[in-house]
Amino acid sequence: MTDEYKNMNAEVIAVYPNKVKISVDDLSKFVSTDEQVEKLKVGSYLEIADDDNHKLIAIIESYSIVIDENKTPTRTYIIEAKPLGVIEDNKFSRGGDSLTIPPTKVLPAKQDDIKAIFNETLNKEERFCFSKLAQNASIDTPVDGNRFFNKHFAIVGSTGSGKSHTVSKILQNAISSKTGEYSGLNNSHILLFDIHGEYSKAFPNANHINSSNIKIPYWLFDSDELGDLFIESKEDNSHNQVSQFRYAVTENKKKSNKTFPQHKIYFDSPLKFNIDEVIRYIKNINNELINKKNDRNPTTKTGEIIENRVPKYFEEDLKFEKIGSDFVNGPYSGDFERFVLRLETIRNNPRLKFLFEYSNEIELEDILKQFIGYNEKNSNITVIDLSDIPFEVLSITVSLISRILFEYGYYYKRLLSGEIDSETPLLLVYEEAHKYVPKSDLVKYRASKTAIERIAKEGRKYGVTLGIVSQRPSEISETIFSQCNNFISMRLTNPDDQNYVKRLLPDSLGNLTDTLPSLKTGEALLIGDSVVMPSIVKIEECTDYMPSSNDIKYIEIWKEKWKDVNFSDVVTQWKK
């Protein structure tokens, strides 16, 4: 021990299961000027030792000053610190319940010890780094990359806290990491849902998808997604809409897939069907008349008797006319006027043409390749720009993509044998996740919540994990957030969000979480299963490519000379 350490006058005055209280009489002797010793501040580390081979590492949560006029010196400094782990025989392990009473010395942690904890605790193959200690930029804070990515993680923070740069840095490091030396891409597969269109610059070589080239055919939708798209839940007879729509879709799938075993075709089967023929069927049952004296069979204006509605109602728009007293309305006659109008409006909406445009020519295999980056030019990361997707179909768009990628992982695992669980593990990153997986029980969010919550609960088994990014964590489905094992919590200014995150954090950090509203831009509380020990870190900056999320420099732009606006071009872009 150096002479400087011998003069440090600190002692442990209380030990609790999750906290150590330390009294310092003379702070000037306790604070070191040695560059190799931790500077004292909230978030700094202390060493509490009972011998040279056994040191408890604790992180400072708070400090206070006690003034006693009857004592010299009159001020005593009380430091409260949370035990993180123990260094024993030069090895660090989490947990801090093995401290003997009383410990012999309390010291600011040496940088070499802190570096050793972060660098030597993880194997080289496991190390994944994207940040440094906030109070000491010379110390990297790597995480266990396997535990970080194979367990869901969350990045939360208020607007301007640095979330987009954090997402970009983590993903850039992931797609550039390699074992050994080889040319070309590594085997990472990442899908980023970009709701504001801000990540194209951060990933110039990504597989970029937007409303102009996305291929998600309507026939691949499941029952919830088709219902959200076509069924008006508030209709008085929506149960009839649902039953007849399900029947028509199922029968049309059988008609369109003659070579597929007919008894294995269901409403949810990922098989093609023709939406125009389904609409024609609904129109015909809405208009049909039946003949009471002819086995109550539908009969057209020309007197044609229809014994089987399928496939006849798929083939043409039939004309019905009451040409005698024996003709009466069919069971659904006139009930689907608004339903037919809704179906035709959605089918012909030019903003939704991406749902119908490629439906006849694209196969499920092509859809999977599109989203996992196996295109003409392979890509590690696929960025889906959702900014141009109409809001009314945003939820089901996210739902469909999430669901088919989960099912891809499920069926791929069934193909594999032996000890291999996945050859192409996927990471799905949801930017502004509260937009499509909120706590709300509204029907319009049902599809996306169901799909993403299923991944949150089951995805890890099949090599599909989540990255949840949000500025309003308190508005996100608790089912999804509670499944996250790693958190990067940046500055949060909303009290509801702060309290929500504090309840979800896997480690009980006590007062350290109170730093959330005062963190600087780019700083974060890093915590979770993958983290060597909870830390306040500074996220490394993106060196080459950054997202388009910088704040607009209002006052600088306002000071410039008046600029004319070409409103015609703006309106043209608006109408696209």
Q: Indicate which CATH number applies to the domain containing 520.
A: 3.40.50.300
Average pLDDT over residues 381-408: 90
Sequential DSSP letters for 325-394? TTEEE-TTTTTTHHHHHHHHHHHH-GGGHHHHTTTTT--HHHHHHHHHT-SSS--SEEEEE-TTS-GGGH
The pLDDT assigned to 266 comes to: 92
Instruction: Give me 94's structure tokens.
Output: 């989490």
One domain for residues 208 and 240: no
One domain for residues 211 and 235: no
Query: Residue 60 sits in which domain range?
Result: 3-121
Question: Has residue 357 been placed in a domain?
Answer: no
The pLDDT assigned to 4 comes to: 45
One domain for residues 60 and 167: no
The pLDDT assigned to 145 comes to: 94
**Higher pLDDT, residue 576 or 376:** 376
Average pLDDT over residues 344-354: 89
Q: In 3-state terms, what secondary structure has residue 209?
A: strand
Question: Has residue 56 been placed in a domain?
Answer: yes
Question: Has residue 523 been placed in a domain?
Answer: yes
pLDDT of residue 543 exceeding 60, the answer is yes
pLDDT tens per residue across span 124-143: 889 999 999 988 888 899 99
Question: Has residue 576 been placed in a domain?
Answer: no
pLDDT tens per residue across span 545-557: 788 766 678 888 8
One domain for residues 94 and 154: no
Give me the chain's average pLDDT, please: 85
Average pLDDT over residues 416-440: 86
The pLDDT assigned to 506 comes to: 55
User: Please, what is the Cα angle at 157 between 94 and 372, to 5 degrees?
Assistant: 85
One domain for residues 228 and 211: no
One domain for residues 84 and 230: no
Strands 91-94 and 105-108: unpaired
Q: Which residues contact 360 (CB under 8 A, 6 or more apart)?
A: 272
One domain for residues 18 and 164: no
Instruction: Give residue 1's pLDDT band: very low, low, confident or very high (50, 70, 90).
Output: very low
User: Please, what is the Cα angle at 367 between 363 and 372, to 5 degrees?
Assistant: 145
Strands 91-94 and 131-133: unpaired
Identify the weakest region by mean pLDDT among 132-141, 355-364, 399-408, 458-467. 355-364
Domain boundary among 347, 370, 403: 347
Other Cβ atoms closer than 10 A to 508: 13
Q: In 3-state terms, what secondary structure has residue 489?
A: strand
Instruction: Give me 487's structure tokens.
Output: 């958190």
Among candidates 170, 155, 166, which has minimal Cα distance to 472? 155
Identify the weakest region by mean pLDDT among 33-37, 180-184, 283-287. 33-37
One domain for residues 396 and 524: yes
The pLDDT assigned to 3 comes to: 47
- Cα separation of 470 and 439, whole Å? 13
Average pLDDT over residues 306-334: 87
One domain for residues 231 and 267: yes
Instruction: Give residue 73's pLDDT band: very low, low, confident or very high (50, 70, 90).
Output: low
**Higher pLDDT, residue 63 or 254:** 254
Question: Has residue 315 been placed in a domain?
Answer: yes
One domain for residues 170 and 272: no
- Using only C-alpha atoms, what is the Rg of the chain? 31
Average pLDDT over residues 248-264: 94
Query: What's the whole-model pTM score?
Result: 0.84
**For the chain, counts of helices (H) and of strands (E):** 18, 23
Question: Has residue 62 been placed in a domain?
Answer: yes
The domain total for the chain is: 3
pLDDT of residue 260 exceeding 50, the answer is yes
Average pLDDT over residues 482-493: 91
Average pLDDT over residues 205-228: 88
The pLDDT assigned to 498 comes to: 85
Among candidates 42, 33, 45, 36, which has minimal Cα distance to 63? 42
One domain for residues 309 and 450: no
The pLDDT assigned to 425 comes to: 93
Domain boundary among 347, 370, 386: 347
One domain for residues 378 and 487: yes
pLDDT tens per residue across span 88-108: 777 788 765 555 666 668 888
Question: Has residue 473 been placed in a domain?
Answer: yes
